[in-house]
Structures are given as structure tokens and as C-alpha cells.
Amino acid sequence: RRANQLAHCLKKLSVGPEVRVAMCMERSPEVVIGLLGILKAGGAYVPLDPAQPKERLAFMLTDAQPAILLAQQRLESRLPEIEMPVLYLDRDWNVIAQRDDENPDSVVTGGNLAYVMYTSGSTGRPKGVAIAHQQLLNYLHAISQSLDLPVGASFAMVSSFAADLGNTALFPSLCFGGCLHVISQERVSDPELFADYFGHHTIDCLKVAPSHLEAILTSSRPQYILPRQRLVLGGEAAPWGLMDRLRALVPDCLVFNHYGPTETTVGVITYRAGESTTRRQSETLPLGRPIANTQVYLLDAQLSLVPVGMPGELYIGGVGLARGYLNRPELTAERFIPNPFGEPGSRLYRTGDLARYLPDGNIEFLGRIDHQVKVRGFRVELGEIEARLLEHPEVRAAVVVAREDTPGDKRLVAYVVAKEDGVAVEALRAYLKAVLPEYMVPLAFVFLESL
């Protein structure tokens, strides 16, 4: 009813098909109301994380050009100063509540825009990925078929609404009669509070990044942290060592490894973990096999298919492919190429991931062919951090690498050549914190005379 009231309010503000509405709110039920209200009005939501620096938020708002921004008044000081209408769901609810609470009429089609999700960009600025309803709908039905949960199952949302990792819990729970638990940031980052919540609430399905799961399993009650029926790992490679621990804690819970860039709508390749010969062939859990209406190709530099066991770049085709990047036609043309194996007009997304086919037909992830990495489930273009470092007036040259001295613990390290006057580490760290999200700020800075 509250989402309907918001939808009617937004329609009065001319929100409809292809109209973007930004959301900048802390993880809470209000975010779900805002998201559903935008979709019911026919618009497309643009989720932004209020923990991001103001400069980055300002860039994304300017780039997305939303008709209106939905926010919470308690976060007003975190919002950038930018000219656009703002509707505060807490302060302005008395006005919104005067609207009709029945379902609004909708003229949205499968081809209309559903959301724009921003990811890290190698040029130094984030880029918006445009996803339509038909892509989201295909994912929704495919992942629900894979999970095979009963009606009324309980899902836990532990990731940021500004990333699509959590859509595995968000949309199946709401669209198929389930219960969605929106876990607060305080609980998500505290293993004991996390275990306490899961110990008091029945959670059937959890989607989480492996490194996040490793962190919260340090709780004194790790068995309470895991769901009863389905655990979905995503966002980064999952080691078999983690699988061993999960089997000991919850032997009856089915574990899935889920792979897919934002550009292919949440996840397009899934592996159901089980005891098989695959383990002896791969250091990490395989990516698995494609979901419905998805084609996967492993190609060499000449776009020719590689044999089983040989590494190749992973290309993805099918109905899950995004429209492309918002306001970036050149980058869209570079990453979304004509499909040489498909119908005229069909496309392939070039992932930049290196993979190979295992003898049993599953796909194994081997690494990246470029400078993109995953840190705690977040996608990070090292070039974006380097570009921001080079903007500092006292930096002559910089290279950022991801080191994994301890398995599963990936950390960013910046190698810097300073100009004559030099620069302090804390000054560099403070500078980056003002323009990049916390997970993109290097843990260590190493100064060199030259690169």
C-alpha cells in the first residue's frame, strides 16, 4: 500500500516509462518501498549508496539525470549540493500518504528500463549499466527455478542496494510470496550481531560474497549465520576450503556458486556444489553452466572457439544482456559486440574474464585479462584508483595492484612516485577517501623513486 501511494505521487511528478528516479537511502524497508514505488509508477530506479563520497554521488546524479531523488532526511548532510527535486520518504510521508493506495495503471513493457546500476570505471569515473524489465524478468524466473524454494521462503538481504548482488534475494522473495529480511548495516558488519539475528529468525536463503561470509563466520556461533536451505555465493571466486567449512556447519544446506557481471543482469552461470571429480580439477568452485536463455562462449583473440581445457575469454549472449552503458555509446560498442554465432542483430558481452571448460561441462574461472579485480565482492577497476591518484598535485606516477598474501584476503596496494616536495601517506589516504568509496582506498602505500 505504501509503495502504491508513492507510485501515485511519482506519477503526479511525471514519472513514467524511461524516466529515471534516483534513490540514496540506508538499507531499510523504506528502500524497498521506494524501489517498488518507482517501478509501479513505470519509472526506472537508480540506487546510490549514501556511504559513497559526495563527489562520486554528484557525478552519478549528474550522469544519470534523474527526474527526482528519493532520500531520507537524516542523510541530508551526506547528499551532494546538486539542483534537482528531492523527496524525503521520512519527512514527506504525510504528503505521500494522502495518495491512493491501490495499484496504479501501468503501460510499461518488457523493453522499458527497470534500473541503472553504477559500477567502477577504468577511466576514473563510474559507469551506469542500463537494465530493462525483460532482462530482470528472465533472471528472476531462471534463478527461482535453480533455487527451487517453496512459496513463502525467507530471504536475507545483506548487500548494498546500489549493487545487483542482492537482487537474488530481493526480487524472488517479493515476486513469489516470500519474506524479505533487510539486514541493517550494523548487523551485516558485526559477526555476533549477525549470528544473533539469524539465530532468532528463520532464514531459508542467503546470497553473500565469499569474503563477507568468511568474515562473519568468525562469530562465536557460526552455525547460526548460515541459512537452512540455500546459500548462494557470488561476487568473487569461492575457494573449496570455504566449502569444506560450510559442509561441516550445515550439511543439509544446498550451496550455489553464482557468476555474472552487472552487464548481464545479476548472474548468468550457476554451479550447484557437490562432491564430484570437479574438485580435483579446480582450485575454486566452478562457475557452472548458463541459466535459461543464455549463451556462453570461450573465445580466443580471433573470436574462435577454444577446445575443452584451454583458456579463453568469456563472452555472454542471450536475453540477459543490458542495453549498454548510459551515455557511453563508444564503450557500449566496445564491450557489446555483434554475435558471430547468433541471429543477425544479436550481441555478445565481452566480460574480460578468463575461463576454461572442465571435462564435465562446467566452466572454471581463471582470472582477468585486464586490471579489474574483486574486493569483498565489489567490482574495482584499478585504473579508476590510479586515475584519481594521478589527479593529486604531488603525485608523478602511480600503479595500484591487488595482493592476496593470505588466501581469500585480497588487499589493494598503491605504488607511488611523488614529485619533488613529496606527500604523506595519510594525506593521500584522506584525499582518496574524499573521492572514492572505502573499499577502493588502498590499504598500503609504497613510495618509489621511479616506476
Beta-bridge partner residues of 299: 305, 313
Q: What's the pLDDT score for residue 376? A: 76
What integer pLDDT is reported at residue 374 of this predicted model?
81
DSSP 303-349: SPBPPTTS-EEEEEEETT---EETT-HHHHHHHEEE-TTSSTT-EEE
Q: Give the pLDDT score at 383.
A: 86
Instruction: Quote the strand ranges of 120-188, DSSP E.
Output: 127-132, 154-157, 179-182
Contact 75, 185 (CB under 8 A): no
pLDDT of residue 195: 95
From first CA to last CA, the distance across the chain in angstroms is 60
Q: Which three cell numbers stand for residue 293?
A: 536463455
> What does the alpha-carbon distance between residue 313 and residue 106 come to, in Å, rounded to a whole number?
41
Q: 227 and 242 in contact (C-beta within 8 Å)?
A: no
**At a CB cut-off of 8 Å and minimum separation 6, what does 365 contact?**
237, 259, 284, 286, 287, 353, 354, 355
DSSP 115: E
Q: Label residue 432 left, alpha or beta by phi (over 0 means left) and psi (-120 to 50 means alpha).
A: alpha
Asked whether the beta carbons of 314 and 357 are under 8 A apart, the reply is no
DSSP state, 449? Answer: S
The b/e string for 330-339 (b: 16+ C-beta within 10 A; e otherwise) is eebeebbeeb
> By C-alpha distance, which of 276, 267, 216 is closest to 240?
276
Residues of the chain short of pLDDT 50, as ranges, are 277
Burial of 29 (0-12, 13-18, 19+ CB in 10 A): exposed
pLDDT score at 168: 97
Residues facing 207 on adjacent strands? 232
CB neighbours of 260 closer than 8 A, spacing ≥ 6? 234, 266, 267, 268, 269, 316, 320
Q: Which helix (H) or strand (E) holds 135?
A: helix 133-147
- State the DSSP string of 247-311: HHH-TTSEEEEEE--GGGSS-SEEEE--SSTHHHH-SB---BEE-TTEEEEEE-TTSPBPPTTS-
Number of residues written out for the chain: 451
CA pair distance 139, 129, nearest whole angstrom: 16
DSSP state of 74: G
For the stretch 57-67, pLDDT in tens is: 999 999 999 99
Contacts of residue 37, defined as CB under 8 A and 6 or more positions apart, other chains included, come to: 2, 3, 4, 5, 6, 7, 9, 10, 70
Residue 101 contacts residue 3 (beta carbons within 8 Å): no
What span, in angstroms and rounded, lies between the C-alpha atoms of 451 and 447? Answer: 10
Q: How high is the pLDDT of residue 276?
A: 56
pLDDT at 407: 67
The confidence score (pLDDT) of residue 274 equals 75
Other CB atoms within a 10 A radius of the CB of residue 130 amount to: 23
| 3-state SS, residue 80 | coil
